[in-house]
Every structure is written in structure tokens, then in C-alpha cells.
Amino acid sequence: MIVSAAIAGLCAWSYITGADATNEHLFVPIIPGIFAAATFISAAVSYAIAPYHKLAMSCWLNYALCCVTTAVLVVATGGVHSPFMSLLVMLAPIAGVLGRQMVALFGVLAVAFAAQQIIMESTPVAQSLPIIAILAIGFCAGLPFWLRQSAAAHDAAKDRSYQELATKLDKAASTSEVVINAIGDGVLALDNNGAVRLINPAAQQMIGWGEQDAAGLNYKTVLKLQTSTGTDISDSTDPVMIALSSNKPVKDDTLSIQTQSDKSFLAYISVSPISTDDTHDGVIVVFRDITAERHDERQRAEFISTASHEMRTPVASIEGYLGLALNPQTASVDDRARNYIAKAHESAQHLGRLFSDLLDISRADDHRLKNDPHIVDVISFVGDIVEGLKPRADEKGLTFIYRPTHNEENEDGAKQVSPIFYANVDNDHLREIVQNLIENAIKYTPAGSVAVDVTGDEKRITISVSDTGIGIPREDQAHLFQKFYRVDNSDTREINGTGLGLYLCRRLTETIGGRLWVESEYKKGSTFFVSIPRADSVTAQRLIKESAFKASIAATKAQQQNQPLAQNTAQVAPAVQSSSDPEPQPIDTPPATPDAQTLYANTPLSSIEANPEQYIKQLRQQVSLSVPPRDPPK
């Protein structure tokens, strides 16, 4: 601003006093004077109206205008011989103070001035070199200021970044502390050595340890983990120790926690490692009391089990009598009544299956579900199930495919040989799993196809059931295997279901050591997968022989126990009564026993079917059966 004001003032003074010998060296032409006046006005206005945080831009603008004005003045007053050349040299160091933008601007201006003098003014290069050197020296004099200012600006930027980061961290720490103190679950922060670094108020209240007392102690002193029966756990089953050693999250809902007052409560424990890049900074332990939750679950399970057991007998009776009513040999009804009875019989069968599923789920939840593994050829086993369910698919007009036997010939016409997949699993459990998945595929496929496949590798066998049905929305897939969960949309409301089938399949799959999952796309279809362990051929053949040998021994023992006692007693020929022997006297005879055909004439058929062993035992006790002995098997 001062330079432009001085140039404008000299221009005015030159025209007022005239160009004489005394002021010819300070004469400023009109054009540089106009440039200087405009620069002064612009600098004054920008400085006056620019806000504080925009002053740097105002300085850059004023410096650029001042450099241009000075360059125009130098060119107009003689170029390299101008008496105002010193002003241009004085502006060079200032560029370094203002930053790299002004350094670049002044460099361009200096190069343009030198080119103008050499090309347009035909100034010899030898005469231009000293001036260019002087400009370069002035320019270099400003470089230290520029470098120092750049370093200072860089340090200031780093300081601002650090300050902002510290502010954010403090804010995040405050927010995290508020959240941790507000949640109802207990939270412990442990370092790599298992020492307690943080304990929130909920944890203090649940286990009875204060923050000052627990700080620095080993977690085993503060958080006493035990089994559900109250015995201490080992390091191999300690979820905290496992997470510390493996640096992986661990969850457990089978343990209990002993408080400082020697009380215990069942707990759900989640341990998550604190990891940053490759470093391990400890773990976060979150736990909550699930005693009341487990008590409610136990009561619900007991009620379901009791109700299902009590309801199964009358439902079986209803189903049996309805079956008799539908039998033309035992009842005569018209077609209209037969239709009503058939619907009632179908509903009774549905109730029977429901109660059976509820009982199985109750046993699974209480860990009372039996697991009796036997070797099975999975392809043949699943094929039998598919064959039994084929009529249901045919009723809906679905294409039903069993892939292991669907394409028995390859493209060359040669017959393909399917691999043999052996599995050592409970046959009843596997049958119920596969049958339930296929029935669901048929039920939820209005039109299209259902395909069942069996594949595998050396260790696992995978059974897949695919359909082209209604599919499952993505948000429902995570909850699909929960108890009583059903997808609720317009496609499923018209289809009957209880939400128990897939949950039971999951529990049965876990019982036989398998895994169950689903892949589905809404409106396009679903594929359910069951993965079970595979038994190698040698092991399978050995187990088959062992099972056959045990069955043979059991059959032999059962046959020996069922043989009449008379077979093992020496038979003596009856003595011939002589005429001199006295006549036999009457003896007391036991009361007559009812005939086997009329003993249970008034007993409902369903009751006998529900518990046949009880009635057979009573029948043997009350009715004497004369059965000739059989020869032992040869």
C-alpha cells in the first residue's frame, strides 16, 4: 500500500511541477500512476472490509497488484536502466514472507520482465544479467523467511490437529464413560495381565467390589467364575483366559459368578479383545444376571412339556376314533360327513405332530434328547425320504428332483456311479431334519421345483434342499432358527405353521454334531444346508459289523428269555390209572379268566395304541396262553 501510494504521489508531483533537471529521475508517467492509484484504492478497501481470517488473501491481492504496478513503472521508465528498479528488487524478499503462492507469482513476474527486456527492448543479455542476478539475490533473501514460515505453519497445523484430536478423544472418553456408567450390564476392563483397570457401577453392585478396591487386582479375585453347579472352572474353560490368550471374542451363558458375599448368580458373559493393529491391549468383560431369565425359561419349558404330554393322549384318542369313522369296514357315513370327518382327522394329526414337536423341543432344551448313532448310507437314506414325500409334491404339481439319482448318465451315455457317503448319526434325528426341510420346501413353493442334493468331501457331508418358492427376506434370515419365529408377510399369512420346525431342526442338527444354515433371496427361492460329519469307509464297515453282532446277541438273548419253561424241563409220561385206584376227588379250580378276544372289548383302540406294552403285560398276566414250544433256530 505504501509503495503504490508513493508511486501515485510521484506521478501527481511530476505533472504538477513539470519534468525538469531536478525531477527527471523521479518522473512517473501517467499509466504507472493510474496503476498505482488503483492499487492503493484496492488495498485500502480490501483491508477495511476483509474479516480477520481473510487478511491473508487481502495481503496476497495487494502484493500482486503492487508487483504489477512496479513492473509497469520500471518498463515505462527505462527498463533495466530505470531509477525505480530498486523498488522491484525490494519487493523480492517480501514474496518469501507471504508464502509459496507469492513466491511463484514473483518468479513468473521476474521471468516475464527479463523476457520483455531481451526480446522486445533488444537489451543485450550481458546488460540484463546483472539486473536478473540482483532480482535473484533479493528473491533468495526472502527464501529463509518463506522456509521458516512454512515450517512454522506446518508446526501450527500439527498443533491444531493434535489439539483437535485431543479434544475429540476427551469428548469420546467422556461419552464412553457416560455410556459405560449408564448401562445395566457389568463391565470390566482388563489389561494384558488380567489386572482390573475399570469397573462400572453396575458391576460393582452385582459382585460387591468397589472401584478403588478392585483396581489393580487380578480379575480372578474380583470376578469369581464357577460352573452352574458351583464348582471352580479351569483355565481351559475360562472365557476371560481364552480371550486373553487367543485374542478372539468369547461368549458363554453356562457359568455362574460368585459375589464378594459368597452368593452366586447365573451369568451371560461376553469377552472382547481390545486390539489396535497388531497390538493387544487387554479385554473388555461384559456380564449380566440371567438367573430370572433362566427360571422363566424353565417354567415355560415345564409347562409346555406337561401340557403336551397331557394333551397327547386325548388327541391320540380323537385321532384314532376319527380314523375308525373313516374306515368303511368299521363305520358307514355319507360323503358329506366323511369330508367333515376327514378335515377333523387332519387337524387332529396336526395337533399330534405339534405336541410331538413340543415334547422333542422340551427334551432338547433340557438336554434329555437321546442320541443313538448308527452308520447310514446318506444318499440311500435321503432317497427313501424323498420317495416318501414325492406324492405331496405331485399333488401341488411341483417338479421334484433328487439329484444323486436324477442324472444317472453323462453326456456320452455312460452310467455314472454316485459316491457313497457314510455318516455315524442318529437315524431318527437325521430323518426328522431332512423330512422337515423338504416338507417346508413343498409347503412354501406355490409353483416351480424342489431339488434335494447330497454332496461332500473327505470330512463333511452336505445335504441341500432347494426350492423356487417365496424366499425369505434378508432381515428375517438371522432369526429364522429361533423358537416360535415365523416370517410375517403377505406370502406366509395364508400358510399354517408354528415356528417350531426349523428350531427343532437346528437343535437336532447340533445334537448329531452338524450345522444348519440357509441361503435365500426374497421372491426367488431358498436353499437350506445341513452339514454332518462323514465317516470313512473302513470305520463305517467296522461299525456296521459291530452293530450287526450286537443285534444278533440281543436277539438271541431275547429269544432265550421268551422260550417256555417246559422246554427246559424233562417230560414224564402220565401214569395209567388202574381200576383199583380210587376215583379222583374234586379240587379247587382257579376262577375263569376272560377270553383274550373279549378282555379289552370296551377299551378305546387309541389307548391301546398309545401304550401297547402295558396292555400286553396285563393280557399275559390275566390270560393263560397255551403255546407249544418252538424249536430253536438252526
Which amino acid is located at 449 in the chain? S
User: In angstroms, rounded to a whole number, what is the distance separating the alpha carbons of residues 499 and 481?
Assistant: 8
Q: How would residue 430 be classed by pLDDT, with cut points 50, 70 and 90?
A: very high
Q: Among 230, 255, 289, which residue terminates a domain?
A: 289
Q: Among 538, 562, 586, which residue terminates a domain?
A: 538
Mean pLDDT score, 557-581:
54
User: In angstroms, rounded to a whole number, what is the distance separating the alpha carbons of residues 492 and 561?
Assistant: 55
> Regarding predicted confidence, which is higher, 337 or 567?
337
Range in 66-75, 248-257, 526-535 the model is least confident about: 66-75
Mean pLDDT computed over every residue of the chain: 77
User: In angstroms, rounded to a whole number, what is the distance separating the alpha carbons of residues 165 and 420?
Assistant: 63
Range in 51-60, 161-170, 284-293 the model is least confident about: 51-60
Cβ pair 210, 222 in contact under 8 A: no
Q: How would residue 283 be classed by pLDDT, with cut points 50, 70 and 90?
A: very high
User: In angstroms, rounded to a whole number, what is the distance separating the alpha carbons of residues 269 and 246?
Assistant: 17
Cβ pair 322, 604 in contact under 8 A: no
Residue 396 sits in the same domain as residue 528:
yes
In a domain, 581, yes or no: no
> Regarding predicted confidence, which is higher, 450 or 98?
450
Cβ pair 29, 11 in contact under 8 A: yes
Q: How would residue 574 be classed by pLDDT, with cut points 50, 70 and 90?
A: very low
User: In angstroms, rounded to a whole number, what is the distance separating the alpha carbons of residues 327 and 263?
Assistant: 63
Mean pLDDT score, 532-561:
84
Q: How would residue 94 be classed by pLDDT, with cut points 50, 70 and 90?
A: low
| pLDDT tens-digit map of 398-421 | 999 999 876 555 555 556 667 889
* pLDDT at 5 exceeding the cut of 50: yes
DSSP codes, 7-62: HHHHHHHHHHH-S-TTTGGG---HHHHHHHHHHHHHHHHHHHHS-GGGHHHHHHHH
Residue 269 sits in the same domain as residue 344:
no
How wide is the angle at C-alpha 355 spanned by C-alphas 350 and 357, nearest 5°?
95
Which amino acid is located at 523 in the chain? K
| pLDDT tens-digit map of 217-235 | 999 999 999 998 889 999 8
Q: How would residue 512 be classed by pLDDT, with cut points 50, 70 and 90?
A: very high
Burial 607-633 (b: 16+ CB within 10 A, else e): beeeeeeebeeeeeeeeeeeeeeeeee
Residue 389 pLDDT: 93
* pLDDT at 613 exceeding the cut of 60: no
Helix (H), strand (E) at residue 437: helix 427-443
Residue 465 sits in the same domain as residue 522:
yes
Domains in the chain, number = 4
How long a stretch of residues is the chain? 634
Residue 180 pLDDT: 79
In a domain, 607, yes or no: no
In a domain, 413, yes or no: yes
Residue 614 pLDDT: 59
Residue 523 zone, left/alpha/beta (φ > 0; ψ -120 to 50; rest): left
Range in 34-48, 232-246, 531-545 the model is least confident about: 34-48
Residue 391 pLDDT: 92
* pLDDT at 38 exceeding the cut of 90: no
In a domain, 571, yes or no: no
* pLDDT at 203 exceeding the cut of 70: yes
Residue 34 pLDDT: 74
User: In angstroms, rounded to a whole number, what is the distance separating the alpha carbons of residues 567 and 132?
Assistant: 136
CA separation (Å) from 150 to 99, 154, 158, 159? 7, 6, 12, 14
* pLDDT at 439 exceeding the cut of 60: yes
Range in 416-425, 437-446, 463-472 the model is least confident about: 416-425
In a domain, 466, yes or no: yes
* pLDDT at 605 exceeding the cut of 90: no
Residue 135 sits in the same domain as residue 90:
yes
Q: Among 289, 309, 342, which residue terminates a domain?
A: 289
In a domain, 266, yes or no: yes
Residue 101 sits in the same domain as residue 141:
yes
Q: Which domain holds residue 220?
A: 183-289
Nearest to 300 by CA among 288, 308, 289: 308
Residue 310 pLDDT: 82
Cβ pair 449, 467 in contact under 8 A: yes
Residue 379 pLDDT: 94
Domain of 477, CATH number, reads: 3.30.565.10
Residue 64 sits in the same domain as residue 15:
yes
Range in 38-47, 79-88, 205-214, 594-603 the model is least confident about: 594-603
* pLDDT at 9 exceeding the cut of 50: yes
Distance from first CA to last CA of the chain, Å, rounded?
128
Nearest to 496 by CA among 397, 353, 604: 353
| pLDDT tens-digit map of 126-183 | 656 666 665 566 556 555 665 666 666 666 677 777 777 777 767 766 677 777 788 8
Residue 222 sits in the same domain as residue 188:
yes
Residue 141 sits in the same domain as residue 191:
no
Q: How would residue 593 be classed by pLDDT, with cut points 50, 70 and 90?
A: very low
Report which listed range, 19-23, 337-341, 555-559, is most confident: 337-341
* pLDDT at 634 exceeding the cut of 50: no
Q: What are the start-end ranges of the E strands in 390-514? A: 399-402, 422-426, 449-456, 460-467
Which amino acid is located at 363 in the chain? R
> Regarding predicted confidence, which is higher, 485 or 591?
485
User: In angstroms, rounded to a whole number, what is the distance separating the alpha carbons of residues 32 and 88?
Assistant: 14
Mean pLDDT score, 540-551:
84
* pLDDT at 382 exceeding the cut of 50: yes
Give the contacts of 46 (CB within 8 A, at least 6 positions apart).
58, 61, 62
User: In angstroms, rounded to a whole number, what is the distance separating the alpha carbons of residues 275 and 244?
Assistant: 11
In a domain, 267, yes or no: yes
Report which listed range, 492-506, 511-525, 533-547, 617-631, is most confident: 511-525
* pLDDT at 547 exceeding the cut of 90: no
Residue 571 pLDDT: 46
Residue 14 sits in the same domain as residue 128:
yes
In a domain, 594, yes or no: no
Report which listed range, 148-162, 283-297, 348-362, 591-605, is most confident: 283-297
Residue 8 sits in the same domain as residue 60:
yes
Residue 570 pLDDT: 47
Domain of 232, CATH number, reads: 3.30.450.20
* Cell triple for 506: 437346528
> Regarding predicted confidence, which is higher, 593 or 246?
246
Q: What ranges in 183-232 are assigned the alpha helix state H? A: 201-207, 211-214, 219-222
Residue 284 sits in the same domain as residue 299:
no
* Cell triple for 208: 460387591
Collapsing DSSP to helix, strand or coil, 137 comes out as helix
Residue 200 sits in the same domain as residue 321:
no
* pLDDT at 573 exceeding the cut of 50: no
Residue with cell 459368597: 262
Please give the share of the chain, as a percent, with pLDDT higher than 70.
65
Please report how many Cα atoms fall inside a 13 Å half-sphere around the Cα of residue 509, on the Cβ side: 24
Give the contacts of 348 (CB within 8 A, at least 6 positions apart).
315, 318, 319, 322
pTM summary value: 0.53
Residue 364 pLDDT: 81
Q: How would residue 93 be classed by pLDDT, with cut points 50, 70 and 90?
A: low
Report which listed range, 80-94, 127-141, 202-216, 575-589, is most confident: 202-216
* pLDDT at 526 exceeding the cut of 90: yes
Helix (H), strand (E) at residue 286: strand 279-289
